[in-house]
Structure 1
Amino acid sequence: MSFGGKKFRSRRQQLAYEASLAGRYKKVLSKHPFLSFGLPFCAAMVLGSIWLSSFTAVKYERDDRKVQEINEEDILKMKKNQREFDIKEEYYRLQGLSEEDWEPVRVARLKDESENVW
């Protein structure tokens, strides 16, 4: 058996409740729900979005500072410090990496560990 969500109040308690801020708000809310609840809620969302957009702008401004236009002097300095590239030299250099002295060594097993031989 359900008694509902309405709370029982005596006549004096009901008059005190209707005179309170919560009682007046509930009365206005039942008459004009959009003006008393929907409009303030939407206004809070819009104002919050505008307020938070400044924080988002800081992120994009920081990213813009990282990507800057390079002038000709900086390009010349970068080219000056760059080593010459020869495709044959790079090929032979990479081939030499595999010729180092190394030998495949089996990892030691623990005392009771299986060998996992299939």
Structure 2
Amino acid sequence: MSFGAKKFRSRKQQLAYEASMAGKYQKHLKKNPFLYFGLPFCGMIVLGSYWLADFTQVRFDRDDRRVQEMNEADIMKVKKNQRKFDIKDEYYKLQGLSEEEWEPVRVKRLKDESENVW
């Protein structure tokens, strides 16, 4: 225990401190630490989880509104507007796109930078 850890109080100051709310709480805390510290702490955690449950429920309700069950008419409409899919056509499209969109370009070197030629 270091010297500065416990505050020095005169007899009069000590009696005034013990009569105050903080002094009474400190006295009870030393006798029953769980009752005066642990139980309120656990109670706040439980009450907080119930309080936050409303906020999480709002988020889940919003997500449920976004994802809804489709009826048969909506499914038929989606299938009718769908284009035909052929894997070979998609493959050739991807091959053509990769060649057209970019071209290898050498990056200019700084004045004192080496060329790194092997």
Q: Where in structure 2 are there 5+ consecutive unaligned residues?
A: none
1:109 CA drift (Å) = 4.3
CA-CA distance at 1:96 after TM superposition: 4.2
Structure 2 match to 1:43: 43
Give, as a single letter, the amino acid of the residue that structure 1 aligns with 2:47.
L
> Cα–Cα, structure 1 residues 13 and 90, in superposed 2: closer, same or farther, change >3 Å?
closer
- 2: CA distance between counterparts of 1:112 and 1:2? 60
1:89 Cα deviation after fit: 3.5
CA RMSD of aligned residues (A): 2.8
Rounded to whole Å, the distance in 1 between the matches of 2:18 and 2:115 is 82
Structure 2 residue identity aligned to 1:83:
R
Q: TM-score, normalised by structure 2?
A: 0.75
In 2, the alpha carbon distance for the partners of 1:104 and 1:5 equals: 69
Q: How high is the TM-score relative to the length of structure 1?
A: 0.75
- 1:84 is the counterpart of 2:67: no
**Superposed, which structure 2 residues align to 1:1-118 within 5 Å?**
2-3=2-3, 5-97=5-97, 104-118=104-118
1:42 shift after superposition: 0.9
- Separation in structure 2 between the aligned mates of residue 30 and residue 103 of structure 1, nearest angstrom: 75
Unaligned stretches of 5+ residues in structure 1: none
Alpha-carbon separation, structure 2, partners of 1:41 and 1:8: 30
